[in-house]
Copies of this chain bind each other. A is one copy, B any other.
């Protein structure tokens, strides 16, 4: 592989001139053209490790999500990527599988690349994670939640409030025997917060005892929804509405209703969460809580860019919480 020195010799200039050409700094037009021609002809590709080591700057942003196959999080990643790409930054992606320990493990490895910023999902992290982040002095943005005291910055919404809003909608529609279908893992905090919003809704609206089925590992699938609904019906046959932890399970519930000949919404209302594509297209279309995952990613990226820039100029890390709107979308299933 040719190095910068090879290019320099071939072009009859010093390494520094080649470096300046690559960085887009002031170089005489004729010299620049000659250097670029040599680079092209030799197929020279700069070595990023050497560059990082020398400059003390890295081209990476770390992004850790519970699951990359969930459309929610892949949209957020897309938004983040779009925001930071324009500044020449690369994503270093990791999949925590909803485990804070896995998050810590991934972070440890990734911090070795001295990233310019870190995007995390949620606000529940191990103390090891917090310590590492603190020592690395890297800007951090937590997403998909609004912690009272973020590490540095946060962009998201209260899952409790969002679920509560859906409960209010169901109550207004006249449903009184409302069940909740969620996952069985204690690690999916956003799912647990939604369940909490459901419970607070019951209490505030005076709707009696909770009817909760916790079933399936996150990310929750359509199958989980259908099977959880079966359990819900067995336990509380007179249920008249189901609130689901995600649109995936809501679709599963809807199909199970179909199979059993349960009319939706006249005999059973079904509510989802997340406004996934399928909810807009199925029949009947599913009422849900809409958030903007792309915006969460984009804003997280902008926050990280600003913080990285501030850090370069020696400014201390700022604390900031940015709320993202959510909205109850009423469709035919409620």
A262 to chain B: which residues have CB within 8 Å? none
B109 touches A90 (CB 8 A): yes
Given A221-B277, A255-B283, A114 and B74 contact (CB-CB distance below 8 Å): no
Out of B93, B131, B258, name the residue touching A93 (CB < 8 Å): B93
> How distant is the Cα of A69 from the Cα of B69 in the complex, in angstroms?
7
A1-20 CB mask vs B (1 if < 8 Å, else 0) is 10000000000000000000
Given A45-B111, A136-B45, A255-B281, A92 and B90 contact (CB-CB distance below 8 Å): yes
Out of B46, B132, B226, B281, name the residue touching A45 (CB < 8 Å): B132
> How distant is the Cα of A277 from the Cα of B198 in the complex, in angstroms?
27
8 Å CB interface, A239-271 against B: 248, 251-252, 255, 258-259
A223, A251, A277, most chain B CB atoms within 10 A: A277
A52 touches B (CB below 8 Å): yes
8 Å CB interface, A5-38 against B: none
B43 touches A49 (CB 8 A): no
> How distant is the Cα of A109 from the Cα of B45 in the complex, in angstroms?
8
8 Å CB interface, A121-154 against B: 131-132, 135-137
A258 to chain B: which residues have CB within 8 Å? 283
A114 touches B49 (CB 8 A): yes
A259 to chain B: which residues have CB within 8 Å? 283
One complex includes copies of this chain to the number of 2
> How distant is the Cα of A46 from the Cα of B90 in the complex, in angstroms?
20
Given A69-B75, A93-B91, A282-B282, A222 and B49 contact (CB-CB distance below 8 Å): no
8 Å CB interface, A253-299 against B: 255, 258-259, 277-278, 280-283
8 Å CB interface, A163-219 against B: none
A252 to chain B: which residues have CB within 8 Å? 281
A58 touches B (CB below 8 Å): yes
> In this complex, what residue of B is CB-closest to A113?
B48
Given A71-B69, A74-B68, A255-B281, A112 and B43 contact (CB-CB distance below 8 Å): no
Listed by A's residue number, 8 A-B pairs whose Cβ atoms lie within 8 Å are A43-B131, A46-B112, A47-B112, A68-B68, A69-B71, A221-B277, A222-B278, A222-B280
Measured CB to CB, the residues of A under 8 A from B are 1, 43, 45-53, 58, 68-69, 71, 74-75, 77-78, 81, 90-93, 95, 108-114, 131-132, 135-137, 221-223, 226, 248, 251-252, 255, 258-259, 277-278, 280-283
Q: A223-B281, A248-B277, A251-B281 are in contact. List 7 more A-B contacts (CB 8 A).
A: A1-B136, A43-B132, A45-B112, A48-B114, A49-B50, A221-B277, A259-B283
- State the 5 A-B residue pairs at the shortest beta-carbon distance, nearest first: A48-B112, A49-B52, A43-B135, A222-B281, A49-B53
